[in-house]
Amino acid sequence: MKRVVTALVAIALGFTLAPVARAVDQPLAGRVIVIDPGHQLGNSNPKFAKQMSATKFNGSIVKGCNTTGTATNQGLPESTFNWKVAKRLRALLEAQGATVRMTRTANSREQWGPCVWDRAGFANDAKADAMISIHADGAASSGHGFHVIAPTAIKGWTTDIVKADRRLARAMITGMTRAGAQPTNYLSSPLSIRGDQSTLNFSNVPTVIVETGNMRNKADAARMSSSAGQQKYAEWLAAGVEQFFS
Ligand SMILES: [Zn+2]
């Protein structure tokens, strides 16, 4: 009889404690988050020139499929930096219970794109709760720090999502700053509202572009080039995502 009681107690405890533990340890359980590692290494490969020349009207202007991105003065391509941070961010978010999907699954000279409108379409199809597009800027060398881009209201394009995008952008700025990331020193605000970004304009789910830092700045470039620095960027981005869902 004693054994039976012990088993019943264990079952009762198991059923009552498990959901509590999950809520504490896995605050992102049930959330679908799309990570978009900006650009692709093969975008600069001449053999993909035709694919890269595709254009689409984005509600504001006609823009190309995708671009090559910037690089550090030492030659670290933005696409590679974005990719490495994206993988680290994926691990951090998955550890908190999120379902994470990536708009590209490799960083290769032998691959191109996907086009920016397809990246947004990927998040739409995934019915993502949030999409984080990871980028790094190529500004004047004196500039450093991160900024977050959200879209302007464009009728028939972003009016349905502009408030949610703004909420996500503010949460990213708050979470990242609290975690130790330095906001931009070369823009008047870490919140940048733009109408020309296809990734934002084609998206129907909360989406922001995070310019994590300036690849042409010595200090930012040094952080971006080391494993420890890439982990920092991932942790800062994760802090922003956590802030959004808290
Ligand atoms: Zn970029």
Q: Do 18 and 139 sit in the same domain of this protein? A: no
Give me the pLDDT at residue 1, please.
Answer: 46
Per-residue pLDDT of the chain (246 residues; tens, 9 = 90+): 445 444 444 444 455 555 555 566 899 999 999 999 999 999 999 999 999 999 999 999 999 999 999 999 999 999 999 999 999 999 999 999 999 999 999 999 999 999 999 999 999 999 999 999 999 999 999 999 999 999 999 999 999 999 999 999 999 999 999 999 999 999 999 999 999 999 999 999 999 999 999 999 999 999 999 999 999 999 999 999 999 999
Q: How far is CA 40 from CA 34, 44, 87, 105, in A?
A: 16, 8, 14, 10
Cα torsion 92, 224, 124, 118: sign:
negative
User: How would you write 140-198 as a 3-class SS string?
Assistant: CCCCCCEEEEEECCCCCCCCCCHHHHHHHHHHHHHHHHHCCCCECCCCCCCEEEECCCH
Q: How far apart are CA 130 and CA 122, in angstroms?
A: 12
In the numeric block, the tokens 């984080």 are attached to 132
Q: Do 22 and 35 sit in the same domain of this protein? A: no
In the numeric block, the tokens 């970004």 are attached to 197
Rounded to the nearest angstrom, the distance between the alpha carbon of 97 and the centre of ligand 1 is: 28
CATH code, domain carrying 77: 3.40.630.40
Catalytic residue, chosen from 78, 94, 110, 211, is 211
Rounded to the nearest angstrom, the distance between the alpha carbon of 134 and the centre of ligand 1 is: 7
Rounded to the nearest angstrom, the distance between the alpha carbon of 6 and the centre of ligand 1 is: 58
- Residue 38: CB atoms within 10 Å: 28
Strand partners for 105: none
Give me the pLDDT at residue 74, please.
Answer: 97
- Residue 177: CB atoms within 10 Å: 18
Q: Do 74 and 1 sit in the same domain of this protein? A: no
Give me the pLDDT at residue 6, please.
Answer: 45
Q: Do 109 and 231 sit in the same domain of this protein? A: yes
- In the 8-state DSSP scheme, what is residue 28? T
* Domains identified in the chain, total number: 2
Rounded to the nearest angstrom, the distance between the alpha carbon of 38 and the centre of ligand 1 is: 5
Q: Do 211 and 134 sit in the same domain of this protein? A: yes
110 as an active site residue: the answer is no
- Give the pTM: 0.91
Q: For residue 9, what are the domain limits? A: 1-26
Rounded to the nearest angstrom, the distance between the alpha carbon of 19 and the centre of ligand 1 is: 40
Q: Do 22 and 129 sit in the same domain of this protein? A: no
Q: Do 7 and 66 sit in the same domain of this protein? A: no
Give me the pLDDT at residue 10, please.
Answer: 47
Q: Do 91 and 9 sit in the same domain of this protein? A: no
Q: Do 6 and 125 sit in the same domain of this protein? A: no
Q: Do 228 and 116 sit in the same domain of this protein? A: yes
Rounded to the nearest angstrom, the distance between the alpha carbon of 49 and the centre of ligand 1 is: 18
Q: Do 3 and 104 sit in the same domain of this protein? A: no
Q: Do 5 and 114 sit in the same domain of this protein? A: no
Rounded to the nearest angstrom, the distance between the alpha carbon of 68 and the centre of ligand 1 is: 8
